[in-house]
Amino acid sequence: MPKSSSPPALLRHAEFLGRIGDFTDGVTEPASRRGQAAFLALRVVDQLAGPWQENVQAFEYQRAATARYVNDLPDPDHPENARLRAILAQSSPETLGAPLLGALRDYAEYLEIVGALRESADVLVTLLDLGVGKESPQLWIEALQGAVRILVALERVDEAAVLHGRARVGLRGVSDVSIRIRTELAGIELMVGKRKVSDLDRAARRCWMRAERSGDPAVAWNAVVTLSRIFLDAGAAIEAALALEGIRTSDRLAPSPAAGLDYAEAHMRVGNLALARAALDQSLASDMSDTLRLRAGRVSAELCARMGDELGFARGMKELEALLDSAVVASLRDLLENSTN
């Protein structure tokens, strides 16, 4: 993602306005207009978290005006434009719940894939602010995990802790064991951010035992790959590799293409490149959404770079060029190449 200036932090969704007006720093006019469109679209979503019922007509006018702006953006087939259209299409009282949360999560994942972490975190926080955790708990808890992970990576630990605390309150009464375990994993993530590494191993073991007892493969896979990454972020590479043994020694297949990509990426991070390649190939053989296919392309390109496969890396970047604009691809190329150094 092109570099951008930093607007006032107190302005909600200011991260997207950072793309505007700084064309000397690699930001093109279409990228600038997409940033403004994202800002406006997320402001529409904000209305659904507030007292929009007091003036339904004003809300619908704002949504329709924003939709017209998004529809008039250059390059209508650009992947970001499509995701903004999807968010606006679901931004209504009738779809408040899983459809809107799904559209927001897809946009946040796209932004993370292309390296726009601050913008991705902003979208996930917007999703969480809708306060529909009990209606769509799985989508909501996935957003919580993602938001905490990214905010910790950005060294915004206090914000992550506030989100985690609010989530624990909002999910009271939800009995789903997977929700409780994922909330616990987000709390373990905070330990790294708060430098409480001495408590990490014990908390991780306790969480893994609960995930195993759940009998749900999706919960177990999520716990394994999350704990592996948390250990790696804490500088415990051996523990990160050992955490993955919880899946590697079983005969279970990944419960979903997304879980398979998580697993491939985790092995790649700890240096198990052959296992990462095998897991990635298994995921690529599955039906995937456009966003997952884009993520798989990024993982594949980075894996080729780590394996010293220059031809594979070049081929992977060429495939990404068909899905992303040139400025994003150039930024992503630098990011992937630097990750191997």
- Helical segments of the chain, H only: 14-17, 29-48, 56-71, 79-90, 98-113, 117-129, 137-153, 157-170, 177-193, 200-214, 217-233, 237-243, 245-248, 257-270, 273-284, 290-307, 310-321, 326-339
pLDDT at position 140 is 86
Residue 316: inside a domain = yes
Q: Taking CA 254 as the corner, what is the angle to CA 274 and CA 236, rounded to the nearest 5 degrees?
A: 55
pLDDT at position 23 is 47
Residue 279: inside a domain = yes
The 8-class DSSP code of residue 252 comes to P
Residue 228: inside a domain = no
Contact present, 233 and 196 (Cβ < 8 Å): no
pLDDT tens-place string over residues 175-187: 788 888 999 999 9
Query: In angstroms, how far is CA 146 from the centroid of its own chain?
Result: 5
Residue 226: inside a domain = no
Contact present, 45 and 131 (Cβ < 8 Å): no
Q: Which of 261, 182, 258 is nearest to 227 (CA)?
A: 182
Of residues 43 and 248, the one with the higher pLDDT is 43
pLDDT at position 1 is 41
Residue 262: inside a domain = yes
Q: Range of 321's domain?
A: 253-341
Of residues 4 and 85, the one with the higher pLDDT is 85
Average pLDDT over residues 67-82: 91
How many angstroms separate the CA atoms of 231 and 241, rounded? 9
pLDDT at position 145 is 93
Q: Which of 282, 308, 280 is nearest to 296 (CA)?
A: 280
For 206, phi and psi rounded to 5 degrees? Answer: -65, -45
How many angstroms separate the CA atoms of 285 and 267, rounded? 18
pLDDT at position 22 is 52
Tally of structural domains, the chain: 1
Position 293 pLDDT exceeds 70: yes
Least confident of 32-41, 150-159, 236-245: 236-245
pLDDT at position 149 is 95
Contact present, 85 and 270 (Cβ < 8 Å): no
Residue 234: inside a domain = no
Residue with tokens 């989508």: 139
Contact present, 174 and 133 (Cβ < 8 Å): yes
Residue 49: inside a domain = no
Q: Which of 316, 306, 314 is nearest to 340 (CA)?
A: 306
Position 125 pLDDT exceeds 50: yes
Of residues 137 and 341, the one with the higher pLDDT is 137
pLDDT tens-place string over residues 188-233: 999 988 888 888 889 998 999 998 888 888 888 889 999 999 999 8
Residue 303: inside a domain = yes
The SS3 assignment for 197 reads helix
Least confident of 3-17, 63-77, 107-121, 283-297: 3-17
Position 25 pLDDT exceeds 80: no
How many angstroms separate the CA atoms of 6 and 14, rounded? 8
